[in-house]
Structure formats: C-alpha cells, structure tokens
Amino acid sequence: MENQKKSGCYGGCDPKKHVKGVMCDVRNCAYHDGKSDCYAGSISVGPSEASCSANTACATFKPKEH
C-alpha cells in the first residue's frame, strides 16, 4: 500500500508496471497514477477497424473503485 501512496496509484495499479511512453488523462481509470502515467503493465487499443484516432479507445480501461 505504501508504494501506491507514493505513486498516487489506487484500485488496481502496480507501481512497478508503468507503461513507458504512454500518457493518459483518464483520471477515473484504475490504472491512472493521478498525474499522467498509466500503470496497467500493458495496454490494448482498438477497435481494429478504426480509421482515425477519434475512433479508437483504450480497451484496458477499468473504472476506479471508490
């Protein structure tokens, strides 16, 4: 729990699994660190038939538990 307090990461985050180079603004995601980093370990983005970035979504998103 102490590591989670240091990273600001709660509800499923693993501070050792920072996805380097991925910035995230979705503060209500369980893998968001409270700043701009993702701690999911890896992410999945879809759908495969997207034709532009507006048609994509992070399939790894998990709502933060309160």
What are the structural domain ranges in the chain?
Answer: 1-66
For the entire predicted model, the pTM comes to 0.68
pLDDT at 45 over 80: yes
DSSP symbols for 39-63: -SSS--EE-TT--SGGG-EETT--B
Do 14 and 39 contact (CB within 8 A), yes or no? yes
pLDDT at 10 over 60: no
pLDDT at 4 over 50: no
CA dihedral 65, 53, 45, 22 (to 10 degrees): -70
| Residue % of the chain over a pLDDT of 90 | 38
pLDDT given for residue 9 in this prediction:
59
